[in-house]
Chains A and B, each alone.
Chain A
């Protein structure tokens, strides 16, 4: 558990050096980046709102990462999930139906899984590297979304903006309080965290997945097929990302536009690692990562700094985390001379 804490601390140190180098008072900027955003109820609501998709996706991805299945295209699966869910929300015959929202959750999961099934099939049956395929599919998903909102799904009453019509009230999660944006979709994340814990820590299948990641030969000897790990790993990530996309479109967004995610799919990869690929850690990692997103927005608005700082911090955090692992794994100790 030490490595993530050390990495976070070092990231803060580098961050303050960076702020100082840019000519900002480091302490005041750190305060503006990491503390000020949480100083209000609205800030707390935004914090959880952004942490929710990150944690949800990271839980799904971690199932695959444990088995050495490298799905790095969650961003694309999120987009396709959002498209599928929004499609149901827009075109379901009865826009007031109470089953509309559950249907959309299902559609989001199916959309994400369908997008993840492509690399799963190609890896399991055609021996094709899933890293590159999931990434290429992310670019394609972005283009698909762009085509839909510029073309067939564009809101005719939308003044030519590239966006769909707004979803009906029944097709959206109700906020807990209309003053803030946090909504019931966080419960999906809570359930996902529990399921993920159940799967990885309490199920035989989850155990076999871990074995096939840590010791592929042993797993094969025990009769566990690699292709099952590939399918389960990718579909878990796809389903989680798809539902996260659904929750974005049926929550804070309310409609599709060309850009629906600030990079949740990529950031979730880092969250999964910070969280040590286990459920409890991922929750903490997601909260931290969400704060990085909030802080980036806050210093952009208040100090005129670039929101690109968020991605820089994400990268640095992951660098330090990986490096910290080394010092924990290979613990340094003095060797007596002439030993």
Chain B
């Protein structure tokens, strides 16, 4: 039972950064913009948050610093992709490379000492229920915040006028522009929001998930988040389910390594990446569903005719 609880809670925790990053990217892509630079924004967020903690700032400020770092990085992408109408693939790649450089540069003096991780909170009474308590009510606040963000984003996208406008812009920026919506401004907001979320994801990695500094600590989680959005066919609930699936994969392979299963640890470490490929292949078979939910203007530059 203890092992089951450990795997369950480990899954939820491992999924948290993926939920932040992938939900943020979902909003960006729903507005018709493809930002491939999540990995870079996450790394900058992770470095900023870790830096703030070392500087002695309180934990909430550190996490906010991570989020703002991600947002600042996303602005670089925004200027290129939205104002300068560059190829969004190339701009996103540049951001990914730039972010890994900036984070490694900031992190050169961070040392290798761990920091005090974000505290977990025990919700009174509920956390004392046997089994249920440790499974659901003893996480750090960011885990709950991720779920809240899921609810907020689902509600925003499908139950508000703002969400409808955002999705319209993603389907047909020409139409939205003709009706009179400021396409570029809204896309900027979406890109900034995506950066904020990727920054949060990075901050979670460096101050809660593995509270010590390792260069390139995201280890592909930004790219996996991109895959999750495709896997989810651009729907929030499926992002959540997908993140848990990948979180579970991560934890199972870590448990497998801890148990000393007689396969090379590298093979186990490769499982999340292999799983990403397999899942992408499976989801790509359903062309109809992809076409139905795919934001039609994704990655196409738009310049309002004045």
A interface, CB within 8 angstroms of B? 70, 72, 122, 126-129, 131-133, 135-137, 139-140, 143-144, 146-147, 150-151, 266, 269-270, 273, 306, 308-316, 318-319, 322-323, 325-326, 330
Q: Which single residue of chain A is at the shortest CB-CB distance from B87? A: A322
Q: Which residues of chain B (23-46) have a CB below 8 Å from chain A? A: 36, 40
The answer on a CB contact under 8 Å between B84 and A132 is: no
| A137 CA to B97 CA, complexed, in Å | 18
Cβ distance B271 to chain A, nearest Cβ, rounded Å:
10
The answer on a CB contact under 8 Å between B223 and A132 is: yes
The answer on a CB contact under 8 Å between A319 and B226 is: no
Which residues of chain B come closer than 8 Å to A270, judged between CB atoms? 94, 97
Cβ distance A10 to chain B, nearest Cβ, rounded Å:
13
Task: Please judge, given known A-B contacts A308-B104, A311-B104, whether A319 and B94 are in contact too, CB under 8 Å.
Answer: yes
- The answer, yes or no, to whether B93 is at the interface (CB within 8 Å) is yes
Q: Which of B13-21, B156-164, B233-241, B274-282 is the contact stretch?
A: B274-282
- The answer, yes or no, to whether B145 is at the interface (CB within 8 Å) is no
Of the A-B pairs whose beta carbons lie under 8 Å apart in the complex, a sample of 19, sorted by A's number, is: A126-B281, A126-B284, A127-B285, A136-B220, A140-B273, A143-B267, A144-B266, A146-B266, A150-B266, A270-B97, A273-B90, A309-B101, A311-B104, A315-B98, A315-B99, A318-B93, A318-B97, A322-B84, A322-B90
Give the size of the chain B interface in residues (CB under 8 angstroms).
45
| A70 CA to B88 CA, complexed, in Å | 12
| A311 CA to B98 CA, complexed, in Å | 6
Which residues of chain A come closer than 8 Å to B87, judged between CB atoms? 322
| A312 CA to B105 CA, complexed, in Å | 8
| A133 CA to B278 CA, complexed, in Å | 9
The 4 closest A-B pairs by CB, nearest first: A315-B98, A311-B101, A308-B104, A318-B94
| A136 CA to B102 CA, complexed, in Å | 23
- The answer, yes or no, to whether B227 is at the interface (CB within 8 Å) is yes
| A332 CA to B86 CA, complexed, in Å | 16
Which residues of chain A come closer than 8 Å to B105, judged between CB atoms? 306, 308-309, 312
- The answer, yes or no, to whether B151 is at the interface (CB within 8 Å) is no
Q: Which single residue of chain A is at the shortest CB-CB distance from B280? A: A128
Which residues of chain B come closer than 8 Å to A310, judged between CB atoms? 101
| A308 CA to B108 CA, complexed, in Å | 9
Cβ distance B275 to chain A, nearest Cβ, rounded Å:
9
The answer on a CB contact under 8 Å between A133 and B101 is: no
Task: Please judge, given known A-B contacts A122-B281, A129-B280, A129-B284, whether A140 and B270 are in contact too, CB under 8 Å.
Answer: yes
- The answer, yes or no, to whether B172 is at the interface (CB within 8 Å) is no
Q: Which residues of chain B (252-277) have a CB below 8 Å from chain A? A: 264, 266-267, 269-270, 273-274, 276-277
- The answer, yes or no, to whether B209 is at the interface (CB within 8 Å) is no
The answer on a CB contact under 8 Å between A315 and B264 is: no
Task: Please judge, given known A-B contacts A135-B220, A266-B97, whether A140 and B274 are in contact too, CB under 8 Å.
Answer: yes
- The answer, yes or no, to whether B181 is at the interface (CB within 8 Å) is no
| A330 CA to B83 CA, complexed, in Å | 12
The answer on a CB contact under 8 Å between A319 and B284 is: no
- The answer, yes or no, to whether B115 is at the interface (CB within 8 Å) is no
Which residues of chain A come closer than 8 Å to B90, judged between CB atoms? 273, 318, 322
- The answer, yes or no, to whether B131 is at the interface (CB within 8 Å) is no
Which residues of chain A come closer than 8 Å to B36, judged between CB atoms? 131
The answer on a CB contact under 8 Å between B86 and A137 is: no
- The answer, yes or no, to whether B8 is at the interface (CB within 8 Å) is no
The answer on a CB contact under 8 Å between A126 and B285 is: yes
| A266 CA to B101 CA, complexed, in Å | 12
Cβ distance B145 to chain A, nearest Cβ, rounded Å:
27
Q: Which residues of chain B (68-90) have a CB below 8 Å from chain A? A: 76, 79-80, 84-87, 89-90
Q: Which single residue of chain B is at the shortest CB-CB distance from A148? A: B266
The answer on a CB contact under 8 Å between A316 and B281 is: no
Q: Which single residue of chain B is at the shortest CB-CB distance from A150? A: B266
Q: Which single residue of chain A is at the shortest CB-CB distance from B99? A: A315
Q: Which single residue of chain A is at the shortest CB-CB distance from B227? A: A132
The answer on a CB contact under 8 Å between B284 and A139 is: no
A132 is contacted by which of B104, B274, B280 (Cβ under 8 Å)? B280
Most buried by A among B80, B89, B270, B274: B270
Q: Which residues of chain B (44-70) have a CB below 8 Å from chain A? A: none
| A143 CA to B276 CA, complexed, in Å | 15
- The answer, yes or no, to whether B100 is at the interface (CB within 8 Å) is yes
Cβ distance A253 to chain B, nearest Cβ, rounded Å:
20
Q: A132-B223, A308-B104, A316-B98 are in contact. List 16 more A-B contacts (CB 8 A).
A: A72-B93, A126-B281, A126-B284, A127-B284, A136-B220, A136-B227, A136-B277, A143-B270, A147-B266, A311-B104, A312-B98, A315-B40, A315-B94, A322-B90, A322-B91, A325-B84
Cβ distance A270 to chain B, nearest Cβ, rounded Å:
7
| A330 CA to B226 CA, complexed, in Å | 31
The answer on a CB contact under 8 Å between A147 and B267 is: yes
| A154 CA to B67 CA, complexed, in Å | 43
A135 is contacted by which of B80, B104, B223, B264 (Cβ under 8 Å)? B223
Which residues of chain B come closer than 8 Å to A325, judged between CB atoms? 84, 86
Cβ distance A69 to chain B, nearest Cβ, rounded Å:
11
Cβ distance B245 to chain A, nearest Cβ, rounded Å:
15
Q: Which single residue of chain B is at the shortest CB-CB distance from A72? A: B93
Cβ distance B11 to chain A, nearest Cβ, rounded Å:
20
Q: Which single residue of chain B is at the shortest CB-CB distance from A300? A: B108
Q: Which single residue of chain B is at the shortest CB-CB distance from A319? A: B94
Which residues of chain A come closer than 8 Å to B94, judged between CB atoms? 270, 315, 318-319, 322
- The answer, yes or no, to whether B205 is at the interface (CB within 8 Å) is no
Which residues of chain B come closer than 8 Å to A315, judged between CB atoms? 40, 94-95, 97-99, 101-102
- The answer, yes or no, to whether B230 is at the interface (CB within 8 Å) is yes
Cβ distance A256 to chain B, nearest Cβ, rounded Å:
14
Most buried by A among B80, B90, B91, B219: B90
Task: Please judge, given known A-B contacts A273-B90, A311-B104, whether A326 and B266 are in contact too, CB under 8 Å.
Answer: no
